[in-house]
Amino acid sequence: MQKSLKIKNICCIGAGYVGGPTMSVIAKNCPEIKITVVDINKQRIDSWNDNNLDNLPIYEPGLKKIIKECRGKNLHFSCDVDSAIGQADMIFLSVNTPTKSRGIGAGQASDLKWIEASARKVAEAAKGTTIVVEKSTLPVKTAETIKIILDSSQKDNKFKNSEKKDFHVLSNPEFLAEGSAINDLQYPDRVLIGGDNQKAIEALESIYLFWVEKDKIIKTNLWSSELSKLTANAFLAQRISSINSISALCEETGADVQEVAKAIGMDKRIGSSFLKSGPGFGGSCFKKDILNLIYLSNYYGLKEVGNYWEKVLELNEWQQSRISQIITKKLFGNLFDKKISILGFSFKADTNDVRESPAIKICKDLLEEGAVLSIFDPKVESSQIFESLSNGDENKNIIISKTIQESTLNADAIVILTEWQVFYELRWPEISKKMRKPSWVFDTRGIISVKELKKLGINVWRVGFSSKI
Ligand code: NAD
Ligand code: UGA
């Protein structure tokens, strides 16, 4: 390939938490490029196309504004996968890659069935020269599999008489965090492009150059790029497990984890980000990406490496169980028929995503003890809560509250599980009067003032803080 490749048409396969926001930001910054985001999930595409922007399938600050500006102009959402692939010069694969639930590697390896299905679709429907970009998080060496699938389409009899196809595969992992996706995409710390074809790399780089400074765009080989994504998530998760391990020690010794985090974070070598102690990390990626890293390590015979990362996950699970045990013990070891107000269900603030949310494990533990949970979350749909706690079945011990007042009324305890801004602003004098006594607040996010609540006669437990002192 000699000529530079000019990208006029982009297709993104997968209209999820990554595909939707990522393509929206590209569309906003590159008005000359036509972008079509496709998905096999019709309901999801319909929601992306809904006239009422409150019905978009994903809640992300700033997303509605971009959709309003670009949708129907250079940004389209469609179920017509073949046609979008056929028109595209560049195709992003942004499909889900969860942990395999059966067969070899079950419980650890990534399930690549959606990636493989997308690659086969591309092989079938693409025309001419097409750059295929891995946006999903993938095990190292997946680009090799994708290349084999794409190149084999040339050998397939079905395509004998069709126009010649030419594919280049790049890795371009996404580092956005939910809740700040639009900002992360607009002002990325870096953009990583892995590949072995210079023209293809330049073509992708030329898109980012519309809004990202050149020195923030890193180019590596394919395998470094794929592995960097898994490594970044593993390092971030490791910091959370590290500070959560210290939170338990703080509670025993009288140290305050927030003070410790501040003290260590001011050391430039450590840095202050990702040192907030909480109920353990959630979200769809940290756990699955570390499991994937463990699987890869063991696959290459590096047992010690796998064992090392395993500990990050173990600590995370322990933190969640530890919190539900503390709640149970403080409430006299008996939760039967006690009303517990759960404030926050999403895995972090500013998202409606509940995947792997620590709230799921903690709520299940409390339900197991017989508690009645009155759950309030500003953005999570009731159906998502029922789905995660009881597989969608009715459970009379799960009540979804529409307001904080309703959730906390006559509660024996309040458990803050997500750091939504509204929970920083709770009117404790009013709430405390309407709780059943003795009342407890369990703050797993470290956002309340222990002093203020104690003055109101509420018993308080805050993560990483000893109320004995
Ligand atoms: P998601 O489940 O929200 O979206 C994936 C979408 O792909 C779904 O809507 C699904 O219907 C669609 N899909 C699956 N197979 C398809 C096919 N053959 N054709 C068309 N559509 C298909 O997932 P997500 O959270 O957007 O994550 C996607 C990838 O990005 C994963 O690999 C994840 O690890 C990675 N990632 C996620 C985040 C995040 O914050 N969620 C951040 C960085 C990277
Ligand atoms: C994370 C990474 O931050 C992104 O860079 C990455 O692209 C993404 O995973 C992915 O690959 O999916 P995300 O899971 O959306 O993003 O959100 P984070 O802000 O990383 O939070 C993850 C979890 O860690 C949340 O449950 C959060 O509450 C928790 N957390 C985060 C803490 O407990 N303490 C902290 O200091 C930071």
- Between the alpha carbon of residue 361 and those of residues 20, 215, 305, 323, the distances in Å are 28, 42, 27, 10
Distance 86 CA to ligand 2 centre (A): 35
Same domain, 113 and 149: yes
Which of 185, 220, 255 is at the close of a domain? 220
Peptide bond into 279 cis (omega under 30): no
Q: Is the CB of 58 under 6 A from ligand 2?
A: no
Which of 185, 205, 220 is at the close of a domain? 220
> Which residue numbers are catalytic?
174, 229, 285
Range of the domain at 441: 222-469
Same domain, 90 and 133: yes
Same domain, 284 and 216: no
Same domain, 191 and 230: no
Which of 156, 190, 220 is at the close of a domain? 220
Sort 287 into a burial class: Cβ within 10 Å, 0-12 / 13-18 / 19+: buried
**Taking a C-beta distance cutoff of 8 angstroms, is the pair 264, 250 a contact?**
no
Same domain, 202 and 229: no
What is the residue-level pLDDT of the chain in tens, covering all 469 positions? 456 789 999 999 999 999 999 999 999 999 999 999 999 999 999 999 999 999 999 999 999 999 999 999 999 999 999 999 999 999 999 999 999 999 999 999 999 999 999 999 999 999 999 999 999 999 999 999 999 999 987 766 565 555 689 999 999 999 999 999 999 999 999 999 999 999 999 999 999 999 999 999 999 999 999 999 999 999 999 999 999 999 999 999 999 999 999 999 999 999 999 999 999 999 999 999 999 999 999 999 999 999 999 999 999 999 999 999 999 999 999 999 999 999 999 999 999 999 999 999 999 999 999 999 999 999 999 999 999 998 778 899 999 999 999 999 999 999 999 999 999 999 999 999 999 999 999 999 999 999 999 999 999 999 999 976 5
Domain membership of residue 248 (yes or no) is: yes
Same domain, 180 and 242: no
Same domain, 150 and 245: no
**Taking a C-beta distance cutoff of 8 angstroms, is the pair 163, 127 a contact?**
yes
Distance 179 CA to ligand 2 centre (A): 10
Domain membership of residue 20 (yes or no) is: yes
Same domain, 447 and 419: yes
Q: Is the CB of 118 under 6 A from ligand 1?
A: yes
Buried b (16+ CB within 10 A) or exposed e, 343-353: bbbbbbbbbbb
Same domain, 207 and 315: no
Domain membership of residue 4 (yes or no) is: no
Place of tokens 């978009």: 56
Helices (H), 191-221: 198-208
Buried b (16+ CB within 10 A) or exposed e, 356-365: bbbbbbbbeb
Q: What is the pLDDT of residue 394?
A: 81
Q: Is the CB of 137 under 6 A from ligand 2?
A: yes
Which helix (H) or strand (E) covers residue 213, if one does? none
Q: Is the CB of 136 under 6 A from ligand 1?
A: yes
Q: List, in order, residues 6 or more apart from 406 with CB less than 8 Å away.
A: 374, 376
Same domain, 171 and 239: no
- Measured distance CA(93)–CA(96) in Å, rounded: 9
Structure tokens at 231: 């490594």
Ligand 2 atom at shortest distance from the alpha carbon of 286: 9
- Between the alpha carbon of residue 121 and those of residues 43, 114, 118, 139, 296, the distances in Å are 21, 10, 5, 20, 27
Ligand 1 atom at shortest distance from the alpha carbon of 288: 34
Question: What is the phi/psi pair of residue 259, to 5°?
Answer: -70, -40
Ligand 2, atom 37, lies closest to the CA of 274
Distance 281 CA to ligand 2 centre (A): 7
Number of domains in the chain: 2
Ligand 2 atom at shortest distance from the alpha carbon of 237: 24
Domain membership of residue 196 (yes or no) is: yes
Domain membership of residue 2 (yes or no) is: no
Domain membership of residue 390 (yes or no) is: yes
pTM of the predicted protein model? 0.96
Residue 381 is part of a domain; what is its CATH number?
3.40.50.720
Which of 36, 285, 292, 357 has most ligand 1 atoms within 8 Å of its beta carbon, as the pocket-test mutant?
285
Q: Is the CB of 278 under 6 A from ligand 2?
A: yes
Ligand 2 atom at shortest distance from the alpha carbon of 348: 28
Q: Is the CB of 175 under 6 A from ligand 2?
A: yes
- Between the alpha carbon of residue 59 and those of residues 250, 369, 406, the distances in Å are 35, 33, 24
Q: What is the pLDDT of residue 5?
A: 84
Which of 11, 12, 17 has most ligand 1 atoms within 8 Å of its beta carbon, as the pocket-test mutant?
17
Distance 190 CA to ligand 2 centre (A): 17
Q: Is the CB of 253 under 6 A from ligand 1?
A: no
Q: Is the CB of 292 under 6 A from ligand 1?
A: no
Give the number of the ligand closest to the Cα of residue 175. Answer: 2
Same domain, 152 and 202: yes
Same domain, 259 and 159: no
Distance 136 CA to ligand 1 centre (A): 7
Domain membership of residue 266 (yes or no) is: yes
Q: Which residues pair with 313 in a beta bridge?
A: none
Which of 38, 91, 95 has most ligand 1 atoms within 8 Å of its beta carbon, as the pocket-test mutant?
95
Ligand 1, atom 29, lies closest to the CA of 136
Q: What is the pLDDT of residue 154?
A: 72
Domain membership of residue 3 (yes or no) is: no
Place of tokens 């410790």: 260
Q: Is the CB of 423 under 6 A from ligand 2?
A: no
Distance 282 CA to ligand 2 centre (A): 7
